[in-house]
Amino acid sequence: MNQAVSVTEVPLPSRSRLAVTTLAALAVAVVILMTIVLPAEYGIDPLGSGEALGLTAMSRPIAVEPIPLPAGGDALKPTPNGPINLYGAPFKVDAVEFVLGPYDYVEYKYQLQEGAQMQFAWKATRPVIHDFHGEVGADPTQVKSFDKSNRQEAIGALTAPFAGIHGWYWENPGAESVTVTLKSSGFYSGALEFRSDKTRKTHELSVP
């Protein structure tokens, strides 16, 4: 004998209760915006809570200093002799590999004098966000992009248009790790690595 199964009806909230809940959620969002988001992201602190919690410091620009070019770098400034550029120091070679975690990035740049030349070939295991650029006088506030198209690899050469640091920004846009390998040769004096955790590392380069 089949028994009827009773279904308990769940009463829907009234319109007035929905309105009260919506207004409460909106009020909480406004409080979070005023006390946390605006002070931390934009330095706007109408209630003074951002300063009290130390959040306004997050919105202040970080002072950045130009990176001094190493002593003796002038030897790598080319002297034109017709179609030939002559240098006072030998060219160097470099080979590096970077593993980028999900949404991680790295910058890798060489110190080049104006007119100095460099050849390069790099490849990633999958396409990455990419910006090949230079910083005039190694000043991070004076950035000049040469190639900002996202890609998986590139082979080419650069004649430095100004003295400073020149190189790449690679960012992993996905949830899986990406490996970037780079080989280069050129009349550069050193290499610098910048990571997403704000660490900076100098790389020693070799003469072939």
Mean pLDDT value across residues 50-79: 58
Q: 184 with 110, same domain?
A: yes
Question: In which domain, by residue range, is 197 found?
Answer: 73-203
CA distance 137 to 76: 15
pLDDT at 67 over 60: no
Q: Count other Cβ atoms within 10 Å, centred on residue 195.
A: 15
pLDDT tens digits along 88-137: 899 999 999 999 999 999 999 999 999 999 999 999 999 999 999 999 98
pLDDT range class, residue 63, cuts 50, 70, 90: very low
Q: 187 with 103, same domain?
A: yes
pLDDT tens digits along 106-115: 999 999 999 9
Which of 34, 59, 84 is the C-terminal boundary of a domain?
A: 59
| Unique residue bearing structure tokens 């190694």 | 138
pLDDT at 64 over 50: no
Q: 138 with 42, same domain?
A: no
Q: 133 with 45, same domain?
A: no
Closest CA to 70 of 202, 159, 206: 202
Q: Determine, yes or no, domain membership for 164.
A: yes
Is the torsion defined by CA of 145, 150, 151, 153 positive or negative? positive
Task: Lowest mean pLDDT of 28-37, 97-106, 133-142, 195-204, name the range.
Answer: 28-37
Q: 104 with 38, same domain?
A: no
pLDDT range class, residue 34, cuts 50, 70, 90: low
Structural domains of the chain, count: 2
Residue 119 belongs to a domain with what CATH number?
2.60.120.380
What residues have CB less than 8 Å from 126, skipping those under 6 apart?
Answer: 152, 174, 176, 178
Contact assessment for residue 123 and residue 181, using Cβ atoms and an 8 Å cutoff: yes
CA-based end-to-end distance of the chain = 92
Please give the model's pTM, rounded to 2 decimal places.
Answer: 0.66
In the chain, % of residues over pLDDT 90? 49
